[in-house]
Amino acid sequence: MDARDRKLLAGMARVNTEIGRVTIALLSTQPDDAEYAAALRQVGADLVRVGASLMYRAAELDGTMAMPVDVLHDPRAIQGDLS
């Protein structure tokens, strides 16, 4: 593991902490509030950035390239299926 990997994992830990904080806030916010949508959007953007970074790093390590955009077009993502 090098400095880039440590930075990547630290970013993942930060996003994980933020997800917990935002989830608690969302549970007490009405879904029709602009604040609710903004929080969902921010967490989603953070997760996409972390996911893309992890996928690109994995490709550097083993040469297998998977495009993050493929994940975005996965029907499970569109339907909100997190299983």
Q: Where are the domains of the chain?
A: 3-79
For the chain, give the DSSP string: --HHHHHHHHHHHHHHHHHHHHHHHHHTS-TTSHHHHHHHHHHHHHHHHHHHHHHHHHHHHH-----HHHHHT-HHHHHT---
Predicted confidence pLDDT, tens digits, the chain (83 residues): 899 899 999 989 998 998 888 888 888 877 778 888 888 888 888 888 888 888 889 988 998 887 777 777 778 877 777 66
The per-residue pLDDT for 7 is 92
